[in-house]
Structure 1
Amino acid sequence: MDTLYSSLLFVICCLYFLTNNRHQITRSAGGIFRTHERIWASGRLSAIQRLRRFIGLGLLSLIVLLFSLLLINVLKLPTAASGPVDAFFVLGGTLRREIHVADLAKQYPETRILISQGSKDPCNLLVFQRAKAPIHQVWLERCADSTFDNFYFNISLLQQWGVRKVRLITSTSHVPRAKWMAQILLGAHGIWVEPDITADWGIPKHPEFPLKTGLDITRSLVWALLSQVIKPKCSKVMPLSVVDVEAWRKRGRLKCEPQSGLKLD
């Protein structure tokens, strides 16, 4: 239940801050329109003051709306948690993760699989072919350049699929940062996260450190709010079935991780 607890704690803290600082927020929102002179005409507020008040109330209303949408989604989490897994969400890193999800595809052939960045397209296809796993429900997303992007570009796609519960596939070295980000960002949209952690191959190329984790968690908290109304989409999403391995071979670009043991000839 840690996804629900962390999301609820975030909402409660934000609502507490909003309640106790509503007057300061209103004044700050209108601060950019402050002037040293007060212009009165026929006992009415000046145009500048009316504009300040209008902008301040507008921003306050927007904040209340965002928190309301967030709270509604968070309250859906207990129901989502009790349901079946709707999709396997792979955070691209090493082929070890794709090998794992290929095994899952054999057990759950009708469950959608979304692989965000990671290994080259033909390497992913070869992994599934070697495992003799179905590929008709496997999709590749090629917009993300970071863990934050994994969620930034795919929240709307998961929602489009009607996903309420997702199995998050990543590696040991990627935890807890990826897990916390998933619980914040997906949980903010009523999607329950079930972590599925695989072992790493050797020493990770990009080690985790506290500052990196702190920065990603901070912007995830901010985006949990903004993403209630802003819905980025990736234009580079394609089914795994359209990947042409031979075309990659002819271009001499077919190289996969040696640890995978894939036959490239």
Structure 2
Amino acid sequence: MKRKLKLVKWVLAIALLLSSIIPVRIAIAFYQTPVPQAIFVLGSASERMKFAAQFWQYHQNLDIWVSDFPWNLENNRRIFLQYGVPNVKLHLDGRATDTVTNFTTLVEYFAHQRLQHIYLITSDYHMRRAQAIATIVLGSQGIAVTPIAVASQNQPSESMIRVLRDCGRSFVWIVTRRSAASFNSRLR
């Protein structure tokens, strides 16, 4: 029992340290790059893809990254092509299995591309959780986010329990570089 308590204390200490560094990194990113450099769309809804394609019409200098399930990628590509987004501007990634992995699978690529500020597009009911995860995962790498919410039809906002759960999972990822789900052999 003492060992578990000690582990919990260490995890909390690390989370506190990280949560104090992340806002500083985000502030620096906003200062250095006040205008977003790319568009990041969370998948699983064609309305998001259509919205992002229309949004791109006013930001044609930006590349678009889409994180979605593998089976949705070709449909997503067709939507973007219908709106005139060239393939060279479109980056589709099918490695994510949930909202946390939408971010963790691409954050290193964003950092490698030296992106410091991106637009985040997702549904309005999903934005609170997505933005919280983005703040932790992307913010830990010095990447700021400007949220753009897609209106949905009478969807209630996701619960605070889901938001807090995924914030915890995001901190676990920062420390271990593993999704919390990967620690549970039944979920693999």
- The amino acid across from 1:218 in the alignment is G
Structure (1 or 2) with the greater helix fraction: 2
Partner of 1:166: 118
Please show how residues 66-215 of structure 1 align to structure 2 within 5 Å.
Answer: 67=17, 71=21, 74-82=23-31, 83=33, 84-117=35-68, 120-200=72-152, 202=153, 208-215=158-165
In structure 2, C-alpha distance between the alignment counterparts of 1:99 and 1:151, rounded to whole Å: 21
**Equivalent pairs: percent with the same residue?**
24
Runs ≥4 in structure 1, deviation > 6 angstroms? none
Q: Distance in 2 between matches of 1:152 and 1:130?
A: 29
1:195–1:129 CA distance, 2 compared to 1 (3 A): same
Unaligned runs of 5+ in 2: 180-188
Bigger Rg, which one = 1
Q: Name the SS for the 2:85 alignment partner.
A: coil
Contact 1:156 1:231 in 2 (8 A): no
Secondary structure of residue in 2 paired with 1:108: coil
Are the counterparts in 1 of residues 172 and 178 from structure 2 also a CA contact under 8 Å?
A: no
What residue is the counterpart of 1:248 in the other structure? none
Cα deviations across residues 60-85 of structure 1 (Å, max 9, x unaligned)? Answer: xxx88xx58x83x6433223214221
Shift of 1:116: 0.2
Q: Distance in 1 between matches of 2:102 and 2:162?
A: 16
CA distance in 2, matches of 1:161, 1:151: 15
**How far apart are residue 162 of structure 1 and its match?**
0.8
Paired residue secondary structure (2:57): helix
Tell me how far apart the structure 2 counterparts of residues 172 and 92 of structure 1 sit (CA, whole Å). Answer: 13
Q: Residue 113 of structure 1 contacts residue 137 of structure 1 at CA under 8 Å; is this kept in 2?
A: yes
Superposition RMSD in Å? 3.3
- Output the TM-score relative to the length of structure 2: 0.74
TM-aligned CA distance change 1:76 to 1:140, over 3 Å: same
Match of 2:186 in 1: none
- Residue 34 of structure 1: aligned partner: none
Q: Residues 77 and 213 of structure 1: is their aligned pair in 2 closer, same or farther, counting only changes over 3 Å? A: closer
| Aligned counterpart, 1:47 | none
